[in-house]
Structures are given as C-alpha cells and as structure tokens.
Amino acid sequence: MKKFLLYLVSVLFINVNLLAQKNVSITIKVIANNVPDETTLYVTGNDVKLGNWQPNLVKLIETENGKWTKKFSFTIGKKLEFKITRGSWETEALNDDGTIPSNHSVEVLNDTTIEIAVKLWADMVEQKIEGGITGIVKYHLSMRSKDIKPRDVIVWLPPFYFLEPEKRYPVLYMHDGQNIIDPRTSTFNIDWQIDETADSLIRKGLIEEIIIVGIYNTPDRSSEYSENDTGYSYMNFIVDSLKPFIDRTYRTFSGREFTANAGSSLAGLISFMLAWEHNEIFSMAACISPAFKIGRYNFVDNVESYKEERKKIVVYIDNGDNELDSKLQSGVEEMLAALKNHQYVEMKDFIYYKNQNVLHNERDWAKNIWRALIFLFGTEKGRRLL
C-alpha cells in the first residue's frame, strides 16, 4: 500500500510538472498596407525567440500583400512584450495618432492569435523631440577597439570648463550614450537630460563639477552589456582605449577615486561589472533598474562567491515598480544582500532607492538621476538631500 501511494504521488508530480511545462502557440499577424514594396517586417520583444529587443532579427513572413505573420511556441504562463518594426527603431510601428506605442503585452495561457493593424511608421511622421542639449558637448566618431563594433562617444563639459583652464574634473562614463544628452539621437526622442540635471546641480553647489562621457551602444548591446567574451571586450575597450583617450584629451582627474560609470537595465549590470572587475580604474557605479540576475543574466553569484580582499567601491542602486522592474526586483534584493554579506554599509558604501509610479524608460530615469549624481559626486550641501 505504501509503495502504491508513493507511486501515485510520483505520477501526480510528473503530470503536474508536465502540465507546467506545456507549450502553446502564439501567432502574431500584422496588417500594413502603407509600406514600400518588398518591405520586411520584424517582431522584437523580451524573449530570445523575439530577438531580445533587437529590432531586425526576427522576420515576419509575408503571406499575402499587406499581411505578415509568424507562429511561436512558448511555455504556459510566459509574459511577453513586443513591438513591430521595419528593421530598426527608427522605423517602428506607431499608434494611429503618430505617438510611440507601449509594448504589446500578452500572458501565454492558451493558443492565441494577436492581430495588429499598423497605419503609421516612425520614419513617416515628424517626431516630436523633447528638449535639447544644455552646455557644450564634443563628439568623437567611430571609436574602434578589438572584438567589438565601432561606436560614437559624446562628451559633456561642465559649465565653467573653459573659464578655469587649470582645473581638472572627475569623470562619469555612461552607457547607452546616445540616450543621455541629445534627444535627437535618443531611441525614443527623449533623453536622460543628464546635461540639464548635472548643470543645475553644479550651479546650485550640490555636486562637484564633472565631465560626462556617453558611450553609444551598438546592435550588440545585449552581448556587450553582459558577462561573456563580448562584454569583457567592451569593458577592455573602456579601460584600455577610451579612458586613456579621454584623460589625454580633457582635463580629468584620472585616478580611480574620481572615476565612475552608470547605466540602466543591462547597462546597469555592466556598470556594476565594470567597477567590480576593474576596481583599479573605477571606484563608483550607478545601477538604474539593473539586470543583476534575471534569465540568463546573473552577476549576483560572482559577488556572493567572492573570497578575496574587499573591493573598495561605492554603488548607487535604484529600481522601480513597473512590470519589468518588478521582474528585476529579486535580483536587486539578492545583490543588496550579497553586498551586506561582504560588509558593505548602506548609506556609506551603497545606497538603494525604490521608485514609485515610474516606467522603465528614459523619461522616468531622468526624474531620479539627480540622486545618483549626488551620491557619487555630491558636496556636503548636496548629500544632506539624500
């Protein structure tokens, strides 16, 4: 009898497990008549089958004139977010009123067909650009390094840089550099406004005068901002090529105690990695909505298993309450616990903020980046605001 009960339990467990792993099909259909001849449409979203947000990887199949489709298989319970493009973010599908749409969202519960009608594309309407550039910026184009794609770099100079020719400055390096200063180059025509924020904080005496270096991303962003060969090549580019160039070209304080880096989402992950793996160069990191541990990304284990001398780093971390940030939250909490286990002290060695009513985008990151700037570069007056 006992053996029979054990057998019954094992059968039930197997059946429940198989049910949990059951796949169902999601079919995406797009109707779009206002596109050039021989157009290719793409779907891009939050899963490797959807291209991991690369806008030109997953083609839809044109079944007849003006109609495209593709069928996918996903595990029951999978939450998907995706958009439609013609191969780049400059050609993404828009709402009927010309605005940039939110992600299409679906939770996979059964076989489903999603039909989307597209009337407007981003390159067919004049997009509203919010804001502009505050201060003086310099551009360095097509900077090259071994094993990674070339990319542009933008450098923002503090307001009194040319009035004090002997003065030197700390430096903040930021990833996704096209999105931080210039709305014309930002993916959604909305930038981080790091230039306006830094300018205001400097003039109010809340932070030191700093130089900000924006490193543009490339189509290899996911690989460059994670723990793999490409990610380490990207970090080597910054350490071995970009930083020496910036120190030669501008009046910087080159020491590690004056050098920070920052970014959001996967760029939040690489920001932490850069300070952790190259602690001899970077002493500070700001990690906004960071992907410390989610899916195939996991740098928490590296910190937890670290046994050598404690690294001297200062880390700013914040996360929001939107759907994507909620998925990132457990990784954030595990990283905070790992730092505490290594005797890092909150409000001294690291600081964490939970932001309310925010989205995972440049507009909302811009609202809170002042905290990161003050924590990393704040004057005594500025730190009283934290």
What are 210-252's pLDDT values in tens digits?
999 999 999 999 999 999 999 999 999 999 999 999 999 999 9
- Which pLDDT value is given to residue 165? 94
Are 63 and 162 within one domain? no
Domain for residue 91, yes or no? yes
- Which pLDDT value is given to residue 292? 98
Contacts of 93 (CB under 8 A, 6+ apart): 30, 32, 83, 84, 85, 101, 116, 118, 120, 121, 122
Query: From CA 335, how far away is CA 354, in angstroms rounded?
Result: 14
Q: What pLDDT band is residue 21 in, cutting at 50, 70 and 90?
A: low
Q: Domain boundary residue among 79, 101, 124? A: 124
Residue type at 121? Answer: W
Are 164 and 193 within one domain? yes
State the average pLDDT over residues 74-103: 85
State the average pLDDT over residues 77-88: 88
- Which pLDDT value is given to residue 252? 98
Q: What pLDDT band is residue 128 in, cutting at 50, 70 and 90?
A: low
Using the predicted structure, report yes or no on whether residue 34 has a pLDDT greater than 60. Answer: yes
Question: Domain span at residue 305?
Answer: 136-383
Greater confidence (350 vs 109) lies with: 350
Domain for residue 41, yes or no? yes
- Which pLDDT value is given to residue 9? 44
Domain for residue 129, yes or no? no
List the Cα angle 100/101/107 in 5-degree steps: 155
Within the chain, where are the H helices? Answer: 2-20, 194-203, 221-224, 229-236, 243-249, 266-277, 300-304, 323-341, 362-377, 380-383
Domain for residue 56, yes or no? yes
The count of structural domains within the chain is: 2
State the average pLDDT over residues 26-40: 87
Instruction: Give the model confidence (pLDDT) of 246-304 as tens digits.
Output: 999 999 999 999 999 999 999 999 999 999 999 999 999 999 999 999 989 999 999 99
- Which pLDDT value is given to residue 36? 81
State the average pLDDT over residues 75-80: 87
Q: What is the mean pLDDT of the chain?
A: 90
Are 280 and 256 spatial neighbours (Cβ–Cβ below 8 Å)? yes
Greater confidence (93 vs 129) lies with: 93
- Which pLDDT value is given to residue 129? 58
Using the predicted structure, report yes or no on whether residue 18 has a pLDDT greater than 50. Answer: no
Q: Domain boundary residue among 124, 144, 164? A: 124
Q: Domain boundary residue among 94, 124, 154? A: 124
- DSSP symbol at 123: G
State the average pLDDT over residues 153-158: 98
- Which pLDDT value is given to residue 19? 45
Using the predicted structure, report yes or no on whether residue 84 has a pLDDT greater than 60. Answer: yes
Output the CA–CA distances (angstroms, integers) from residue 33 to 83, 102, 133, in the order listed: 18, 22, 37
Domain for residue 167, yes or no? yes
Q: What pLDDT band is residue 66 in, cutting at 50, 70 and 90?
A: confident
Are 79 and 192 within one domain? no
Using the predicted structure, report yes or no on whether residue 123 has a pLDDT greater than 60. Answer: yes
State the average pLDDT over residues 359-386: 94
Are 309 and 224 within one domain? yes
Q: What is the CATH number of the domain that holds 268?
A: 3.40.50.1820
